[in-house]
Amino acid sequence: MSYKILEEYTQPLVDNIKDNYLSILKNVGEDPKRDGIVKTPERAAKAMQFLTQGYEMDAEQILLGAMFEEDYEDMVLIKDIELYSLCEHHILPFFGKVHVAYIPDGKIVGLSKIPRVVDVFARRLQVQERLTRDILDAINKTLQPKGVAVVIEAQHMCMMMRGVQKQNSATTTSGFRGQFKESETRNEFLKLIS
């Protein structure tokens, strides 16, 4: 039995990006006609289009598509959401985990929509600080909950592979709105994700 992964690409965009990757390969001294490299520009172009598909997505529409009235007033926590993004400074990956919590105010959202919101903003050229705020603000604006919390823990290849070359470093960013600004609620959230 076999399976097929459906990936869609905009061919004119792939062709344009492919030409740029071909130029890069030549400029770094690689032979673009070498057997292992011949298809690399097209593969890299498709990868770049996939890794930046967040520009074509709308977090608000994702959340609105699965929002439900519900009389639930306690914390909803989705933790350890896998994160993969590209640093806008070097176009190198950063990766880690995202923890998101909200306290509903009459509306909840389908649980799978929170990781999708993470991907909307992660699949763009990013800095971790803005990524944290983007996720937080999208959930806060659309759901209008009593509070929202986001913590991101990530490792950055731009720090690991080049520059300071610190392989064991990690960066943590956080953002809090509403009731999560109160120390008791924030501390409960932080305890649950530790």
Report, as residue numbers or ranges, the catalytic residues. 87-90, 128, 156, 158
Distance separating alpha carbons of residues 134 and 60, to the nearest angstrom: 11
The model's confidence at residue 164, banded by pLDDT at 50, 70 and 90, is: confident
Helices (H) and strands (E) in the chain, counts: 7, 7
Supply the mean pLDDT for the chain. Answer: 94
Q: Does domain 59-193 have CATH number 3.40.50.300?
A: no
- Give pLDDT tens digits for 21-67: 999 999 999 999 999 999 999 999 999 999 999 999 999 999 999 99
Q: Which amino acid is at 23?
A: S
- Residue ranges per domain, the chain? 11-51, 59-193
Distance separating alpha carbons of residues 190 and 96, to the nearest angstrom: 17
- Count the neighbouring beta carbons within 10 Å of the beta carbon of residue 115: 16
Q: What average pLDDT does the segment 91-119 reach?
A: 97
11-51 and 59-193 agree in CATH topology: no
Q: Is the pTM of this model over 0.85?
A: yes
Q: Is the pLDDT of residue 1 over 60?
A: no
The model's confidence at residue 4, banded by pLDDT at 50, 70 and 90, is: low
pLDDT (0 to 100) of residue 102: 98
Hey, which residues does 85 pair with through a beta bridge? Answer: 94
* CATH topology assigned to domain 11-51: GTP Cyclohydrolase I; Chain A, domain 1 (1.10.286)
